[in-house]
Amino acid sequence: MSFELPPLEELLAHSHVVRLPMRVKFRGVIQREALLIEGPEGWGEFSAFTEYGAAEAARWLAAGIEAAYQPFPEPLRTSIPVNATLPAVAAKDVGAVLERYDAPHTIKIKVAEQGQGLDEDLARVAETRRLYPQAALRVDANMGWDITQAVPALKALSEYDLQYAEQPVPGITGLAEVREQLRNAGNPLKIAADEAVRKHTDPLEVSRLGAADLMVIKTQPLGGISAVLDIAKHAELDVVVSSALDTSVGLAQAAALASALPALPYACGLSTGTLFAEDVCAEPMLATAGYLPVRRIEPDHQKLESLRPEEAHVGWWRQRLESCYAELARE
């Protein structure tokens, strides 16, 4: 970390645990829990997914502390172009989900969902293209395929004029193999690395091995704005700032990161606030005509109370904060 850790007792005293209901299932989640931290510079979010251990989740805590205790960088832009996100819904439900977004110009479509097949992916993408013929489309498999599945699937999906495909298979070497096979087949579809960046001890290996054409970077999993700006500086790849299914507090930090990048060639994945039925503030971070404002978020204290889960979950998050804090203190 590039700053001194505040006392643990101070973090615990100014933390609030919330549970946000979602409109549709996303990554298997129908309720999203987060621990929010109030600090001298504003609010930060710690919302590592529950299956992550302390060593991995500690980077998420570092990002939350940074947001609460450090000023955001000077912005180079006041609004951020963002994509709509379409979960792995049936083709008949595509229109209803995307209607919640205000004039999307870019749409990220989830594919390779467990229990579904390529026919369902093709139908979902085809329906999206039919409804939004001028939109930039991208697909995200979240490592759902192996190499033998990914290559033919991406060839078939490429017929719908995709901007890029995000993390079709696990790992860095897997991405490199998929990308090479597509190129050998004359397919120019760009490959984006997500999990291969945020789950790897060396995020820059993606660039060194030529495994991807661009990197998807997320503020919380990579340890905060300062850490991500350093990665982006040395990556020598275009980057896309994306959400880790954050509340509006986390989305504000991610938008601040995107605002500070020297170049922003792709729409960012920061319009996921639309997936929540409730959020922590009166004016959530929602896009207008496909653009998200760059601003700090002030949670509504009545919402913090109404969205507070049962005490067992509050206690679990506070214990998790303590264990992740111990990891950071050892660094």
Q: Quick one: pLDDT band at residue 3, thresholds 50, 70, 90?
A: confident
Q: What is the pLDDT of residue 298?
A: 96
Report the predicted TM-score, pTM, of the whole model to 2 decimal places: 0.91
Q: Which residue has the tokens 């060639």?
A: 265
Helix, strand or coil for residue 245? Answer: coil
Tell me the pLDDT band of 24, cut-offs 50, 70 and 90.
confident
And the tokens for 268? 């960012």
3-state SS assignment for residue 50? coil
- pLDDT tens readout for residues 213-260: 999 999 999 999 999 999 898 888 999 999 989 999 999 999 999 999
What integer is the mean pLDDT of 16-41?
92
Whether the CB-CB separation of 178 and 191 falls below 8 Å is answered with yes
Strand partners, 20: 32
> Which pLDDT value is given to residue 209?
86
SS3 (DSSP) at 41: coil
Catalytic residue among 25, 218, 233, 303: 218
Name the residue among 184, 244, 242, 189 with its Cα closest to residue 215. Answer: 242
Closest CA relative to residue 240, chosen from 169, 192, 306? 192
Question: Which secondary-structure segment (H or E) carries 26?
Answer: strand 15-26
User: pLDDT for 276-296, tens place per residue?
Assistant: 999 999 999 999 999 999 999
User: What's the confidence (pLDDT) of residue 294?
Assistant: 97
Give the span between the Cα atoms of 189 and 191, in whole angstroms.
7
Contact 147, 122 (CB under 8 A): no
Q: What is the pLDDT of residue 200?
A: 62
CA atoms within 13 A on the CB side of 36: 31
Average pLDDT over the chain, rounded to an integer: 94
Identity (one letter) of the amino acid at 166? E
- pLDDT, residue 290, reads 94
110 is known as an active-site residue: yes
Closest CA to 118 of 82, 145, 136: 145
> Looking at the predicted structure, is the pLDDT value of residue 1 above 70?
no
Phi/psi for 32 (5° steps) reads -110, 125
Given pLDDT bands bounded at 50, 70 and 90, which one contains residue 331? confident
Query: Annotation-wise, does 213 bind a ligand?
Result: no
Residue 161 annotated as binding site: no
Catalytic annotation on 218?
A: yes
pLDDT of residue 208: 86
Residue 19 burial by Cβ neighbours in a 10 Å radius (0-12, 13-18, 19+): middle
pLDDT at residue number 201: 65
Which of 108, 110, 233, 303 is flagged as catalytic? 110
CA angle 290, 296, 299 (to 5 degrees): 105
Q: Is 166 annotated as a binding residue?
A: yes
Beta bridge partners of 15: 37
Tell whether the model's pLDDT for residue 330 goes beyond 80. Answer: yes
Of the pLDDT bands very low, low, confident and very high (cuts 50, 70, 90), residue 187 is very high
- Burial status of residue 41 (CB atoms within 10 A of its CB: 0-12, 13-18, 19 or more): middle
* 76-98: average pLDDT: 96
Mean pLDDT of 89-112: 95
Mean pLDDT over residues 258-275, rounded? 95
